[in-house]
Structure 1
Amino acid sequence: MAKEDEGQAVAAVIGRLVNKFPNAPRPLVEEIVSEEYNALNDGPIRDYVPVLIERAAKIRLKDSLKRT
């Protein structure tokens, strides 16, 4: 996956998560997605990075919102 395509996919992940978690502030969603992206940034296979980011971010957002 090209970096430009990956960036668009990550932006789409943020948009979906903001819609799925309306009680989560957008900056929190962006921060979590960014952290998950950075955790996977060194991987050699890029095709699944957006899917993996979204899955991990959903878990973290659910946990975060349970605590509030």
Structure 2
Amino acid sequence: MELKENTQREIEVGAADLPLHCPTPDQVKWNSHPRVFLDVTKIGEALCPYCGTRYKLRAGEVIKGHH
């Protein structure tokens, strides 16, 4: 897997990405902030308090067992 720079400011996520945290596993870590878990299940999106990246739940995603 090729690691991505932490430059994308809006990322679509799905059920397979939960539990969601920023930075994501496919991002480089050397220039990242501490890991923070984000809840996109309540309103369909979450904003990282460290870097401002907006994570949006992909349209039509079905989340089971996450509250």
**Which category of TM-score, normalised to the shorter sequence, fits these structures?**
under 0.3
User: TM-score, structure 2 length as denominator?
Assistant: 0.27
Which structure: greater strand fraction?
A: 2
Pick the structure with more helix per residue. Answer: 1
- TM-score, normalised to structure 1, is 0.27
